[in-house]
Amino acid sequence: MKEEKKPQLERLADLKSELIAAREAYLAIVHTAPAVEVKAASDKVKRLQAAISDCITEGAKPCPMCHNTPHGMQQTEGKYIGFEIGCLHCRPFKWADRTVREPRVRRGLLPRHAVEAWNEGPAAWWQRPKEG
């Protein structure tokens, strides 16, 4: 029988716990272990960071400008926790209304809110405040 997939936030919490443990393991050996062990511990941290990003961006369309997979992260500001999705490869650009847009969105308390905003395209992306 096929095993059911855990809910996204539960999988995200599991990955974050694994990442904390992997970082602690890395920090415990970084100055004392052989380079091969340190690299393996570092690679594990990187894999878990990528898995967290992938979990956050589930359902997100590729970047409409460069077609790369977007990157997801959780942001914390005081008591507020939100999710951000963006393209690591594209630079800010001028949109049709002459505003400067950045290829990222930051919305909501759930990853799907950020995914929905990202999937709306550049019209919904972060707009820099006008100078002057």
Per-residue pLDDT of the chain (132 residues; tens, 9 = 90+): 566 788 999 999 999 999 999 999 999 999 999 999 999 999 999 999 999 999 999 999 999 889 999 999 988 877 778 898 999 998 888 878 778 888 888 777 899 999 998 898 887 776 666 654
Range of the domain at 112: 71-124
> What's the DSSP call for residue 90?
P
Is 91 inside any structural domain?
Answer: yes
Q: Residues 87, 117: one domain?
A: yes
Q: Residues 49, 76: one domain?
A: no
Q: Residues 81, 44: one domain?
A: no
Q: Residues 79, 37: one domain?
A: no
Q: Residues 49, 85: one domain?
A: no
DSSP character string of 31-82: TTS-HHHHHHHHHHHHHHHHHHHHHHTTTPPPPTTT-PPPEEEEEEETTEEE
Is 39 inside any structural domain?
Answer: yes
Q: Residues 51, 78: one domain?
A: no
Is 131 inside any structural domain?
Answer: no
Residue 30 near residue 38, CB atoms below 8 Å: yes
Is 61 inside any structural domain?
Answer: no
pTM of the model: 0.84
Residue 39 near residue 72, CB atoms below 8 Å: no
Is 18 inside any structural domain?
Answer: yes
3 state SS of 36: helix
Domain tally for the chain? 2
Q: Residues 36, 79: one domain?
A: no
Is 75 inside any structural domain?
Answer: yes
Q: Residues 45, 76: one domain?
A: no
3 state SS of 87: coil
